[in-house]
Each structure stands twice: as C-alpha cells, then as structure tokens.
Amino acid sequence: MNGTSRSDIKPGTRVSIVLKADQQSGKLTEGVVQEILTKSPAHPHGIKVRLASGEVGRVKAIR
C-alpha cells in the first residue's frame, strides 16, 4: 500500500512519511500515526498525517 488512500490509514498504523523539509531528497521518516490531517478520501501525493513524535508529513508507505 502506498499511502494515497485515507481508508488504508488509521491512528496507530506504522508508516513511512516524507517531511516537508525532505521532499527534495525523498528521505523517509518512520513512525506511528497519531492523527490524519487530510480530509479528502484520497490524495495523489499521499495522505498527510501527524506522527506520535509530532512530525507532520505525507505517507509514502504503510508498514
């Protein structure tokens, strides 16, 4: 799963996200979803989430 569908992601799901500052490099950050920030059912660049660590980014992979 690639993280573009909101229905695939729930709080507590382990994911890899790309932070805004890392969009150029594509560096991924792994963590557990605390909150889903994207309201639409799908987003072509990935659903935006807040991790338990407080970091915000778009989901690129669901672990």
Taking residues 1-17, report their average pLDDT. 95
Q: Which domains does the chain have, with CATH numbers?
A: 6-62 (2.30.30)
Using CB atoms within 10 A of its CB, is residue 12 exposed (0-12), middle (13-18) or buried (19+)? exposed
Smallest Cα–Cα separation from 11: which of 45, 40, 47? Answer: 47
Q: What is the pTM of this model?
A: 0.93
The predicted-structure confidence for 11-58, as pLDDT tens digits, reads as follows 999 999 999 999 999 999 999 999 999 999 999 999 999 999 999 999
